[in-house]
């Protein structure tokens, strides 16, 4: 199999977020957007992953960690210019390069894999992930030739009246023949309404050279939506929460009311556990089998054993053994440990304590 590479664009500041926090660091279900994308890419078959950083570079790099190599785009001159930052690493490599956006936390590795497979199967120079929208306003349009291949991509601000009526849109996710991508990137100009170097212009250059460019239309447009403001952030969070809740229920967890249950992207819950309405489970919490998490409980970064009952309590950074009952109205703080078969009952307030042999009530 040829080599596969991923380039994730994460240099933008995100002014529409109106925040001191850089856009790709805003959390969705408890995890920064860029971390969602990097973790998704880790599940796909890539030889190397690069993240292009700019605004907030140090913070983004810290969030990415060792799971990708970060490349700095010192001036934000457009998506084409951003991808060009990887030229020193990739321009001489054979293989496939997928370009993704760091503000699309909902993209799945299955969709990325299908895009690459379609491009490689058809021996195309590029494949564009597209979608069909009834209202495509704001999105680049896919213009096809008579054979159904992609002829060009026109940005919304540059589209004429006929092109604006096209309902197939560019999601901003691509799979390229690596050598052909970097051979043409330096030919992209900024003669457009934004004065930027657009990555989609590479598509037009490929077509001019009679290269095959195809489109893969996803049926899951919501996966590809970028987050640019707080409303889109909330929408992405709701979609992600629905996905997380469905996954845990399929794995044998009962959520009495999924619409009022908040689970972080990284929490793990064992089978036959029941979670009641209003519960919030955050961070890297691990919950065992056969537990009961009562209504309006708040649990963060805890390790919880099997057959544990928690009633309307707050637990933060706690380790809990098996067959434990906690609450109602308990508050157990970080670094505490609750041994097995203990009842930490009504209104207990404990921090950095070892509850069991020396405290609490043995059941």
- Active-site residue numbers? 16
Cβ(61)–Cβ(38) below 8 Å: no
Long-range (24+ apart) CB contacts under 8 A made by 82-86 are 82/9, 82/11, 82/52, 82/54, 82/199, 83/7, 83/9, 83/52, 83/181, 83/185, 83/199, 84/182, 84/185, 84/186, 84/197, 85/52, 86/5, 86/7, 86/50, 86/52, 86/182
DSSP letters spanning 221-279: GGGGPPP-SHHHHHHHHHHHHHHHHHHHHHTT-EES-GGG-EE-TT-EE-TT-EE-TT-
CB proximity list for 88: less than 8 A, separation 6 or greater: none
Cα-Cα-Cα-Cα dihedral sign, residues 141, 142, 145, 147: negative
């Amino acid at each position: 199999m040829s080599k596969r590479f991923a380039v994730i664009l994460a240099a933008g500041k995100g002014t529409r977020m109106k925040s001191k926090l850089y856009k790709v660091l805003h959390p969705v279900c408890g995890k920064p957007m860029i971390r969602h994308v990097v973790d998704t890419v880790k599940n796909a078959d890539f030889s190397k992953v690069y993240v292009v950083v700019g605004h907030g570079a140090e913070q983004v790099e810290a969030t990415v960690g060792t799971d990708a190599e970060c490349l700095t785009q010192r001036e934000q001159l457009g998506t084409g210019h951003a991808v060009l930052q990887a030229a020193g690493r990739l321009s001489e490599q054979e293989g496939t390069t997928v370009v993704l956006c760091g503000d699309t936390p909902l993209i799945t590795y299955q969709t990325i894999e299908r895009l690459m497979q379609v491009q490689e199967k058809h021996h195309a120079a590029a494949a564009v992930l597209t979608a069909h929208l009834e209202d495509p306003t704001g999105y680049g349009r896919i213009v096809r030739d008579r054979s159904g291949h992609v002829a060009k991509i026109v940005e919304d601000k540059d589209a004429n009246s006929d092109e604006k009526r096209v309902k197939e849109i560019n999601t901003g996710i691509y799979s390229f023949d690596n050598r052909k991508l970097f051979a043409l990137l330096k030919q992209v100009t900024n003669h457009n309404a934004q004065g930027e170097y657009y990555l989609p212009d590479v598509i037009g250059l490929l077509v001019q050279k009679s290269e095959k460019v195809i489109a893969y239309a996803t049926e899951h447009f919501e996966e590809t939506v970028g987050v640019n403001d707080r409303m889109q952030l909330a929408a992405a969070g709701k979609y992600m929460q629905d996905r997380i809740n469905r996954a845990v229920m399929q794995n044998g967890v009962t959520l009495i009311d999924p619409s009022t249950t908040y689970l972080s992207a990284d929490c793990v819950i064992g089978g036959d556990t029941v979670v009641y309405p209003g519960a919030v489970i955050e961070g890297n919490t691990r919950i065992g089998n056969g537990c009961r998490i009562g209504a309006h409980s708040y649990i963060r970064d805890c390790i919880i054993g099997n057959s544990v009952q928690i009633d309307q309590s707050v637990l933060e950074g706690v380790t809990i053994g098996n067959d434990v009952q906690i609450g109602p109205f308990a508050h157990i703080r970080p670094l505490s440990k609750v041994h097995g078969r203990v009842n930490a009952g009504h209104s207990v307030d404990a921090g950095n304590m070892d509850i069991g042999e020396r405290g609490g009530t043995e059941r």
